[in-house]
Amino acid sequence: MEDQPQEFRLRLPRKGELFGLVISMQGGARMIVQCQDGKERLCRVPGKIKRRIWVKEGDYVLVVPWAVQGDERADVAYRYTSLQADHLRRRGFLKEFQ
């Protein structure tokens, strides 16, 4: 078999979603995330995906700011693996975090 680059689908931000970097864990499925717009938000993992997403410090995530208190709080919609984060970095999506 030849050594071919691995292809995978990558979830990109939709309208109203932002990339973020987890700075610190707060407990209770809550964390402080530095978002690509320069704001730090207290984010939580919603109950319907809490058992499927395990987030730790240094992970890149996709966040959805709340309609109310959107500058302070958000929900985590997706967590990127390290391979996916490297791919996003190479494509220039994570310039704000360099």
Over residues 77-86, the pLDDT tens digits come to: 999 999 999 9
Q: What is the mean pLDDT of residues 21-46?
A: 95
Does pLDDT of 7 surpass 60?
yes
Between CA 73 and CA 44 the distance in angstroms is 8
Query: Quick one: pLDDT at residue 22?
Result: 96
pLDDT of residue 25: 95
Name the pTM for this structure. 0.87
Q: Residue 2: is its pLDDT beyond 80?
A: no
- For the chain, domains (ranges, CATH) are 18-97 (2.40.50.140)
Query: Average pLDDT of 26-54?
Result: 92
Both tokens of 77, joined, read 């919609």
Say whether pLDDT at 5 is over 70: no
Angle at 62 between CA 38 and CA 83, to 5 degrees: 110
